[in-house]
Amino acid sequence: MMRSLTARQAYRLWAPNYDVENPVTALDQIAVDQLTPPLTDRTLLDAGCGTCRRLPSPSDTGLRLAVGVDLVRGMLLANRDSAAPRPTVLTGDVRDLPLASDVFDLVWCRLSIGHVKEIALVYREFARVTRRGAVIVVTDFHPEAAREGYVRRFRDAAGNSHVVEHYPHQVDDHEQAANAVGLRLEARLECSVGPDVRSYYVNAGMTQQYEEQQGLPLVLALRFML
């Protein structure tokens, strides 16, 4: 059995080639598009933003503010186009955000919370940095995929395969942690292997795996309101 890397170890290695899309990231994108309200005039925090590839620029979207926070500096700096406007980013931990209270009315936490064991600390921080009426969208590697033995795996730039430490959290765990700080679960999506992501399997020569995995929930997406 391969030893898992901590998130910090893993994303330092993964940063240079992280931005390649895969079935999990493609399903995350579909879910977040469905759960996110219009961006205009909002203040957005992308918590665990990685390379900031999802972080919209205020000038393109009408956002008043967009801030990304990630644990791994190498992710924040990866693939930075020097000609593009610099996003506002901070190195930090979602359990203890380096941000003032009552600033944001929209939070994304995309495929990051599963790297954290103590999700109560994360929801406490989301409640602290948001304003009343805020929307918080959280996605995670689906606990059912974890139960079936699937792991979060990547190949580094040298082609070596690694597994990243991941803590499966059930919907009830999220809901309990969120309710404890006044957040209410409003919507939930389960995104499974199917036609939306078939091309990733076909292009990788993994048609048989596609057939085997069809219907397997890969991404859990939740929307909370404060």
Give the residues lining the site for ligand SAM (CB under 6 A): 7, 11, 28, 48-50, 53-54, 70-72, 75, 93-95, 110-112, 115-116
What's CA 147's distance to the chain center, in Å? 19
Nearer to ligand SAM, 14 or 210 (CB): 14
Conformational region of residue 32, where left means phi above 0, alpha means psi within -120 to 50, and beta covers everything else = alpha
Q: How far is the CB of 208 from ligand SAM (least distance, A)?
A: 26
Nearby residues of 4 by Cβ (< 8 Å), 6 or more positions away = 151, 163, 164, 165, 166
d(CA 161, CA 123): 32
Nearer to ligand SAM, 49 or 107 (CB): 49
Tell me the residue nearest to ligand SAM as measured from the CB: 50
Q: How far is the CB of 85 from ligand SAM (least distance, A)?
A: 19
Which of 104, 113, 176, 167 shows the shortest CA–CA distance to 140? 113
Buried b (16+ CB within 10 A) or exposed e, 2-33: eebbebeebbbbbbeebeeeebbbbbbbebbe
Q: How far is the CB of 75 from ligand SAM (least distance, A)?
A: 4
Q: How far is the CB of 147 from ligand SAM (least distance, A)?
A: 19
Nearer to ligand SAM, 115 or 223 (CB): 115
Q: How far is the CB of 47 from ligand SAM (least distance, A)?
A: 7
Nearer to ligand SAM, 24 or 134 (CB): 24
Nearby residues of 96 by Cβ (< 8 Å), 6 or more positions away = 121, 125
Q: Which helix (H) or strand (E) holds 77?
A: helix 73-77
Q: Quote the DSSP letter at residue 147.
A: H
Nearer to ligand SAM, 28 or 105 (CB): 28
Nearer to ligand SAM, 68 or 105 (CB): 68
Q: How far is the CB of 23 from ligand SAM (least distance, A)?
A: 13
Nearby residues of 56 by Cβ (< 8 Å), 6 or more positions away = 39, 44, 63, 66
